């Protein structure tokens, strides 16, 4: 875990030293990494909540299962689904960000990611979004917004968050 924090700090520092073209390539690789090796893929064994989202235009699907601890924090968040690299990588990133958070914290993260996906520069530089910052380029492709938001939509349904 300490090595992961050290690596992440180094990666964050490296991001600030790269050209826009280098950043784009780095973010594309990060998205492909989450797509090829998704984090938290599968279903929670005994979920407290579940939600799903589907993009009728392309058929992509994401389902989310959640386990809550006694304080209302997401003790486990997992996803299943099929679809494009953006939808599946974004769901993977979402599980990493949501684990350990409260319902309200997840709502705030969801709003921040929505801002990121529509081109908010401050959100694109918000280190609290972790790997999800790699999705900033989706802002240039409105047809892909729904793909990148599907995991968050499924989680919102599971937690009964406002749209």
**Closest listed residue to residue 146, CA positions, set 35, 58, 64, 65:** 58
Task: Answer left, alpha or beta for residue 150, where phi above 0 means left and psi between -120 and 50 means alpha.
Answer: alpha
Q: Kindly report the pTM of this predicted structure.
A: 0.86
- Give backbone dihedrals phi and psi of 55, rounded to 5 degrees, phi first: -100, 105
Q: CATH number of the domain that 73 lies in?
A: 3.90.1010.10
- Which pLDDT tens digit goes with each residue over 34-44? 999 999 999 99
Host domain of residue 117: 2-159
Count of domains for the chain: 1
Average pLDDT per block of 10 residues along the chain, 163 residues long? 41 60 83 97 98 95 98 97 97 98 97 97 96 95 95 97 82
């Amino acid at each position: 875990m300490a090595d992961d924090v050290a690596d992440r700090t180094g990666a964050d520092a490296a991001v600030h030293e790269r050209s826009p073209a280098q950043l784009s390539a780095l973010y594309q690789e990060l998205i492909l990494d989450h797509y090829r090796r998704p984090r938290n893929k599968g279903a929670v064994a005994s979920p407290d909540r579940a939600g799903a989202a589907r993009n009728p235009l392309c058929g992509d699907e994401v389902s989310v299962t959640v386990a809550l601890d006694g304080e209302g924090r997401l003790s486990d968040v997992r996803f299943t689904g099929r679809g494009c690299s953006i939808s599946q990588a974004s769901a993977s990133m979402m599980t990493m960000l949501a684990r350990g958070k409260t319902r309200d914290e997840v709502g705030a993260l969801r709003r921040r990611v929505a801002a990121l996906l529509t081109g908010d520069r401050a959100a694109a530089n918000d280190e609290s979004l972790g790997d999800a910052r790699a999705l900033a380029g989706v802002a240039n492709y409105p047809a892909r917004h729904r793909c990148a938001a599907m995991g968050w939509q499924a989680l919102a349904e599971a937690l009964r968050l406002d749209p």
